[in-house]
Amino acid sequence: PEPKPSSAPFAEPLHVRAAQVLHSNWTGASTVPSHSLYPHQWSWDSAFIAIGLRHVSPLRAQSELETLLGAQWGDGRIPHIVFNPSVPLDAYFPSPDFWRSSTAGRAAGAPRTVQTSGIVQPPVHALAVWLVHAADPGLSRARSFLSRMYPRLAAWHRYLLHRRDLGGGGLASVVHPWEQGMDNAPSWDAPLSRVTPAPARSFRRADLDHGAAEDRPTDLDYGRYVRLAADYRDAGYADGAAGITGTVGAAGFAVEDPAFNALLIASEHALARIARELGATGTARHARAERLTAALVDRLWEPAQGMFFCRDVRTDELIPERGVSGLVPLILPTLPRETAATLVRTLRGPHFGLGDTTRLVPSYDLTGPAFDPHRYWRGPAWFNTNWLVERGLRLHGEHARARRLRGALLETADTSGFAEYVDPYTGEACGALGFSWTAALTLDLLH
């Protein structure tokens, strides 16, 4: 038969191009998500990047995580950005002079030698450390990778489960939409509406130098992000019950998010495996992960909608917006069977359309009033959340669906130039191209 014409006849194979993206975004000790939009190290990006990088260079994958965890604060938090001092201050906003970690974060134990932000991102790290170890156990043992990472990961989980249990139900809260990683998801609209935005003239958005305004959050959103972060900073990045009623609570943003907590639980299972590898039993950690899964179902499952919702800790009510975050708990091994089956039905139904109107899971309800196929986390499909759903489908025995999703992810990563996110209907590229986690997770799916 005639050879099938290829859309890019002279291109290198997909895995080679994906590795090239990671190579060009590597800065010597870590990887930037994108040189243009995000020229520093980001926390959950680095975890996803390491998961892909392990197939190309297990050593670089270990370094990626070591660099990030090297910037951990004394109270256990892993900052959402570790700044590269050689990047000009105006390349990204908010820059180190906004966060002032080494002074404002002193009481919380911010590092003195490296500048970081003061908020966190989803805890994908223990999962990443475990997967990186598994890619080359010999190298990992020779470098004592797990024994060096374990105490830091344990302190990180302790921080989230104790200092961030603002709702008192056992789950961790986020105190800023950037912490959850899906910055302008419609789930934040109601809790954010209580926040008085910082005046537009008080800051300059560097993101609009590189990204199309209609693909990014609005100026009003940014004003609120800035206010929340500045208030948290001015309170010395203090958490705890006082945080809710004190300065952080003046703005009042504290939300329990299903994806953030599901990733914490998946990482707690990974930490149990790491503990076992290091000679402990890991039993207590697995048991805790199971208890947390039960708490997640108890506090965030909405049976009438067949998915998880966010809980607004200020009002103690669920936020009735359907986002991909509410499907991510599919990655949990001890989710009740019926809950997992319901999530799969919701994925296929009209709100996410998987395998029907869409080939990738959109970030937000296709029928929702706030849906916009191009605006960041208000509709476009993202590769990290789809990678998680693919993993969840496989875990719960949905192999055919997982295979189709994997195929669609690989094809879209290829045709979009490893885009940051894509139109969920057409696969059209949005945001940055040559985006690191898209390339990394492509490599992981190819292995």
Interface positions with ligand 9WN (CB under 6 A): 33, 38, 42, 44-45, 80, 178, 181, 183, 207
CB of 33 to ligand 9WN, least distance (A): 3
Q: Residue of minimal CB distance from ligand 9WN?
A: 33
> Whose Cβ is closer to ligand 9WN: residue 207's or residue 411's?
207
> Whose Cβ is closer to ligand 9WN: residue 121's or residue 293's?
121
CB of 31 to ligand 9WN, least distance (A): 11
- Backbone torsions φ then ψ of 41, nearest 5 degrees: -100, 130
> Whose Cβ is closer to ligand 9WN: residue 37's or residue 289's?
37
> Whose Cβ is closer to ligand 9WN: residue 108's or residue 206's?
206
Task: Indicate which residue of 239, 277, 321, 420 is catalytic.
Answer: 420
**Could you tell me if 412 and 425 are in contact, meaning their C-beta atoms sit under 8 angstroms apart?**
no
The strands making up 421-422's β-sheet, listed across from edge to edge, are 381-382, 421-422, 429-430
> Whose Cβ is closer to ligand 9WN: residue 182's or residue 335's?
182
Question: Which two structure tokens, joined as six digits, stand for 240?
Answer: 């705890």
CB of 382 to ligand 9WN, least distance (A): 8
Q: CB within 8 A of 12, min separation 6: which ones?
A: 20
Active-site residue 136, yes or no? no
Task: Indicate which residue of 66, 75, 136, 183 is catalytic.
Answer: 183
Count of C-beta atoms within a 10 Å radius of residue 416: 21
CB of 165 to ligand 9WN, least distance (A): 23
Active-site residue 420, yes or no? yes
CB of 183 to ligand 9WN, least distance (A): 4
> Whose Cβ is closer to ligand 9WN: residue 293's or residue 436's?
436
Question: Which two structure tokens, joined as six digits, stand for 329?
Answer: 């708990």
CB of 431 to ligand 9WN, least distance (A): 9
CB of 42 to ligand 9WN, least distance (A): 4
CB of 379 to ligand 9WN, least distance (A): 14
At 321, the amino acid letter reads E
> Whose Cβ is closer to ligand 9WN: residue 93's or residue 425's?
93
> Whose Cβ is closer to ligand 9WN: residue 216's or residue 359's?
216
Question: Which positions are catalytic?
Answer: 183, 420
